[in-house]
Amino acid sequence: MNRWVVPCFALCSSMFVISAVNAEEADSVDKAREALTKQEGDSDSAQQLEEVFQAAEKNYSLIKKGGMSLSYSFDYSYFGDQRLDIDIVNGSFRNADVVPSASHTFTNTFSIDYGLLNNVTVSARFPFVAKFDTQEERSNTDLGDASFSLRWQPTAYVPGKMSTTVFGSFGTKTGTSPYEIDINKQLSTGSGTYSLSGGASMSKVLDPVVLYGSLSVSYNMPVDGLNQVRGGALLTEVKQGMGISMSSGFSYSLSYDISLSGSIQLSYSNETELTLLAGPVKFTSVSQDQISSIMNFSIGTRVSETTIVNTNVGFGLTEDSPDVLIGISMPINIDGLKKL
């Protein structure tokens, strides 16, 4: 076995609720309720964990010094929901309507890894996103949020012992920001904020089974100077909360050419605060905490001595999770690149 790859995905969505507004402004704020609804993937779209395991070689499980690898992955996610649209006037319900939502996201990602040292690898990830809302007939195709990461393996791999890798990542906001578009006509392909994350992954080989787990913490930087119309108010500032993500799973080798994997990921995001301006009045809208959980299954198929193609299927376990996830990933062999 040269490599096991277990992709983990984390997509989440939530409904924002008005937390602080004067009584006389209730009508205009409630009209903006639909505009303040957060679409799937807005806060941390296209955010994924680093690979939680790479098969052990002679000393380290990362790319050797001077080595380089290029890989491609395709991911599809579907998020369906029904939102309750409520209009309140002077504390009384005026009308209520169930608004369906169906979002399809196709992501093509190219990743490049380079070995600075035998135990230090730097990576860059460039996603291209196509997003469709079939209920409201909206779509957008654009670059997603590019990210850059570093992985460090403190100690050399010892057969039979647990292997640990520490990683850190910086996420850009190169995708279409959800805070700079016309939310009634456009869709976002990025988070709209810069982000920092870090954590550690652990794995242990119990031939023919590999056990692995990962824990990471993320922080999204505040965004100000915004000028986005949302309902009857103007969005001026966004402060997203901290997030924590955990995953664990196993891989089982059926033969030299076939392996099966199963994993579960749990993500928690703290509340997000929006600062809005309605005329001369400034108020805030605070989202609820989000919990997303995804069960994922994958099969790795060796198609050549140096190439393993991974195909995965996943489904969400909570309301804030995508309903369906489908993906495929594979290395790209280019002449001139130094191999592992």
pLDDT one-digit tens code per residue, 182-240: 888 889 999 999 999 999 999 998 988 999 999 999 999 999 999 998 878 899 999 98
In this structure, is residue 273 part of a structural domain? yes
294, 264 contact by CB (below 8 A): yes
69, 63 contact by CB (below 8 A): yes
pLDDT at 75: 96
Return the CATH number at 108: 2.40.160.40
In this structure, is residue 35 part of a structural domain? yes
Q: Provide the sign of the torsion angle of the four alpha carbons 14, 15, 18, 19, taken in this order.
A: negative
* Arithmetic mean of pLDDT, 290-296: 94
**b/e per residue, 54-79, with b = 16+ CB within 10 A?**
bbbeeebbbbbeebbbebebebebbb
pLDDT digit string (tens) for 307-323? 889 999 999 999 888 89
Residue with tokens 């594979």: 330
pLDDT at 85 over 80: no
CA distance 115 to 110: 17
CA distance 103 to 187: 10
pLDDT at 13: 34
Q: How is residue 115 written in tokens? A: 């070995």
- Domains held by the chain: number: 1
In this structure, is residue 234 part of a structural domain? yes
pLDDT at 34 over 80: no
Structural domain of residue 267, as residue ranges?
Answer: 16-332
In this structure, is residue 178 part of a structural domain? yes
In this structure, the chain runs to a length of 340
Burial of 7 (0-12, 13-18, 19+ CB in 10 A): buried
pLDDT at 70 over 80: yes
Share of the chain above pLDDT 70, in %: 74
Residue with tokens 């995953």: 247
pLDDT at 100: 57
Residue with tokens 């409201």: 136
On the question of a cis peptide bond just before residue 222, with omega within 30 degrees of 0, the verdict is: no
Nearest to 162 by CA among 46, 37, 53, 257: 53
CA distance 128 to 13: 20
Query: pTM for the whole thing?
Result: 0.77
Burial of 194 (0-12, 13-18, 19+ CB in 10 A): middle
In this structure, is residue 137 part of a structural domain? yes
Q: How is residue 323 written in tokens? A: 């309903």
